[in-house]
Amino acid sequence: MRRFAITIFLLLLVGFVGYVMTNLPHATSVAPGDTAPALTLENTKGQKISLSDLQGKIVMINFWATWCPPCIEEMPSMQRLYDAMQGDDFVMLAINTEENGRSVVPEFLNKTSYTFPVLYDDQGEVQKKYGVYKFPETFIINKDGTIAQRIIGSLDWSSSKAIAYLKDLSKG
């Protein structure tokens, strides 16, 4: 009888684990050299922005959230980078990933002077396509649509090294 109970328990356990594994969200992960996954998202002005429309430009995609202290800490340097790169073939897209982003982002932005574009990924679809689960996370996309860099964590985007790297990419 004891052996039967153990067998039933193990079968149930295997079934449960199988069920859980097949129902987990399956995210892809992209790496340098891969083609950047397509995206079309709405910005804070209600306009649709598509990555395909930005071919021929260097694109910086930064995934962030208002509840993420490192995300907020790197934003002033992102603004300085955005200002420094004006006139170059460079586009910055700050993608907010919060389900309630459309209500919390405007309030957050009203307290700042950031002018770089902010987009909403409130369903998390683009976040999943890029395999983003740590914040902030940034992708630098080449003019040909391939990923040049994937950076997990915050960075001083206004450092001379970061600006020189992006200016170099935008010229090439």
Condensed to tens digits (0 to 9), the pLDDT of residues 94-135 reads: 999 999 999 999 999 999 999 999 999 999 999 999 999 999
What's the pLDDT at 87? 85
Residue count of the chain: 172
**CATH superfamily of this structure's domain 28-171:** Glutaredoxin (3.40.30.10)
170, containing H or E segment: helix 160-171
Query: pTM for the complete prediction?
Result: 0.83
Residue 164 pLDDT? 96
Q: What is the Cα 113 distance to its own chain's centre?
A: 21
Instruction: Please give the pLDDT value at position 22.
Output: 41
Q: How many CB atoms lie within 10 A of CB 146?
A: 13
108-111 contacts: CB < 8 A, separation 24 or more? Answer: 108/66, 109/44
Asked whether 119 and 43 are in contact (CB, 8 A), the reply is yes
pLDDT at 125: 97
- Which stretches of the chain drop beneath a pLDDT of 50? 17, 19-26
Note the pLDDT of residue 169: 93
Model pLDDT, residue 92: 98
Domain ranges of the chain: 28-171
Q: What is the pLDDT of residue 14?
A: 54
DSSP 158: T
